Chains A and B, each alone.
Chain A
Amino acid sequence: MVWVAVTWLVLVLALPLASVFAGAFSQGVRAFAEALARPEVLHAAWLTIVAVLVALVVNTAFGLAAGWTVARTNLPGRGLIRVLVDVPVAVPPVIAGLMILLLYGRGGWFEPLLERMGVDVVFALPAILIATTFVTLPFVAKEVISVLEESGRDEEEAALMLGASRVQCFLHVVLPNLRWALFYGLVLTAARALGEFGAVAVVSGNLIGQTQTLPLYIERAYANYETVAAFSAAVPLTLVAVLTLVLRGALIRRRVRADAVVNAVPAVDDQTIHTQGGMSWT
């Protein structure tokens, strides 16, 4: 059983991973460095980083607001908010891109308004940002909601009764409790934003040196038979993906250890760490 599992995982995971590096360095380190230093690669990388940063900022704000609304208020629409937060996961990326086009593109609902304002959304930076934010919307919000619901109001009420202001209560009680959930949600957001392909491919126009992100560049380079260029650009993205897995493992270990302390569980074996993290990607 173990051998079947290990062979399968090595075959489907290790081989692709190894082939990224084999492809990137197949013409030597020099060719790899030159492929990465191309101006269109640097521009694509910069654009991708901008999209990731915007997704992180918007998701922090939205995640906290959505979490607070669902777990700490009794305002109407909380059930609907919970459902809508999950919707982007169910929408295939190309269809997400299509939705944005139907709103902001040629003949779209907002076209007259945007024209009057003189703003380009589709085939420009705003559409890339909207697409990236849409596909990453659930990650932080879901983490924050689940932690706020789990932790309850006791600590916050205690702080308020002891005379803390609302701001103090938020900064010193709510935020510290949320720290790791927020961080974990942001790690997932960054990983997804960095690699988003389908939605961005539809709305960005894929203009080299203008609206081409790094994942789009990789596809285009490979289609043009520039294998070394494609794999070289894939190396930084692959390294971030591996880093994401390492961070995720560390955060799950942390959470299980914290649970063990709170519940006075004597010992945590390796198994619990790997199966009871309770964190999901989707």
Chain B
Amino acid sequence: MSREVFQAAGAGGGARGAILSALPSTRFARRLWPSGALAWGFTVTVLALLVLLPLAAIIVESRGAGLQGFTRSLTDPVCVAALRLSFGGALLSAAVNSVMGLVVAWALVRCSFRGRGFLDSAVDLPFALPTSVAGVTLAELFGPQGWIGGAGARLAETLGVPALASVKLQLSYTVGGVLIAMTFVSLPFVVRSVQPVLHALETDVEEAARLLGASPLRVFRHVVLPSLKPALLAGFALSFSRSLGEFGSVVIISGNMPMRTLTGPVLVFQKVEQYDPAGAASIAIVMLAASLVTLVAVAAIQSKAVRRG
């Protein structure tokens, strides 16, 4: 389609080009002006219709029930519990992913082992896998019959140790299941933001510290960690934002019990199904603001790191 746009733009030009002066930039800009205007018009139209207008709609509609309605939907105990679970769960899963992501990035960059390239590609699986597929596999894995959820009972039977049956790994339809889903879908962020920084990091300072007698832990804390901090923070924030908004996998694994395993996005979905758009928009605007603020913070962290770097 856009090829036609450009062709249409070019069609009016005639047998041009022969009389070009040697003033490339301005001449160039002028020559490409019609196609530029068309591209601009198309871009602005799409963005206005698909991004700006919807953003405006959600802001206006969240105020539809007035300030009173807005605070009433947000102070409803079910909503408070859902938001607490979403924010708390997202913080926790981002923390887990920060620690494990750092370990994985370290192994992928600093250690050499067979299958490293394969593992490196595999890290992105949670991004590529549809969230509902992630949801059903995780719910099944941690369900009562699942490989992990049913492991305690199965071990108790095969080993003849009844005590093992009380090992609680059945996390589907519990808060634990929500955390697992959030951790899974946001797994790659920290790895992918730390990896390039770690790769660019010279090892000479670390070696110097080691030669001067610092313990490996001390080298890590005082030499490596400070350089990784911006990347780690950015990865944490991206991970948090993704977990906060996650719906597909969470709605399947959590069981969606109000006050217990119901998350913010699932509550928004339920409000929509109950024809309460103003209530849905009130909760949505809070989550959207948190998500946008987080991503703006990431952009700030990254541009600061680039300027310093």
**Bound-complex Cα distance A163 to B13 (A):** 12
Q: Is the CB of A16 within 8 A of B134?
A: yes
Q: B235 to chain A: closest CB distance in Å? A: 11
Q: Chain B contacts of A238 at CB under 8 A? A: 129, 133
**Bound-complex Cα distance A248 to B270 (A):** 36
- Judge if B46 is at the interface, Cβ distance under 8 Å: yes
In the complex formed, the residue of B with least CB distance to A20 is B137
**Bound-complex Cα distance A85 to B61 (A):** 23
Q: Is the CB of A246 within 8 A of B121?
A: yes
With an 8 Å Cβ cutoff, the count of chain B residues facing the other chain is: 115
Given contacts A61-B42, A65-B43, A91-B288, 17 further A-B contacts (CB under 8 A): A8-B104, A57-B1, A62-B46, A66-B46, A73-B39, A77-B44, A90-B241, A93-B245, A137-B50, A166-B13, A197-B131, A219-B248, A222-B252, A237-B129, A242-B128, A275-B196, A276-B196
A87, A92, A223, A244: which contacts B128 (Cβ < 8 A)?
A244
- Judge if B195 is at the interface, Cβ distance under 8 Å: yes
- Judge if B230 is at the interface, Cβ distance under 8 Å: no
Q: Is the CB of A73 within 8 A of B241?
A: no
Q: Is the CB of A68 within 8 A of B137?
A: no
Q: A44 to chain B: closest CB distance in Å? A: 12
- Judge if B5 is at the interface, Cβ distance under 8 Å: yes
Q: Chain A contacts of B188 at CB under 8 A? A: 281
Given contacts A6-B119, A274-B117, A280-B192, contact A100 B54 (CB under 8 A): yes
Chain B 67-79 near chain A by CB (<8 Å), digits 1 or 0? 0000000000000
Q: Chain B contacts of A196 at CB under 8 A? A: 130
Given contacts A12-B187, A68-B39, A215-B248, contact A81 B132 (CB under 8 A): no
Query: Helix, strand, loop or mixed for chain A's interface?
Result: helix
How big is the A interface, by class? 35 or more
- Judge if A94 is at the interface, Cβ distance under 8 Å: yes
Q: Is the CB of A92 within 8 A of B247?
A: yes
Please choose the segment from B21-29, B157-165, B207-215, B221-229 that sits at the chain A interface, where 4 or more of its residues have CB less than 8 A away.
Answer: B21-29
Can you show 19 pairs from A to B with CB atoms below 8 A apart? A9-B123, A12-B183, A13-B125, A14-B122, A16-B134, A64-B2, A68-B35, A73-B33, A95-B268, A98-B58, A103-B54, A157-B25, A166-B10, A167-B11, A195-B131, A215-B133, A222-B135, A248-B121, A274-B116
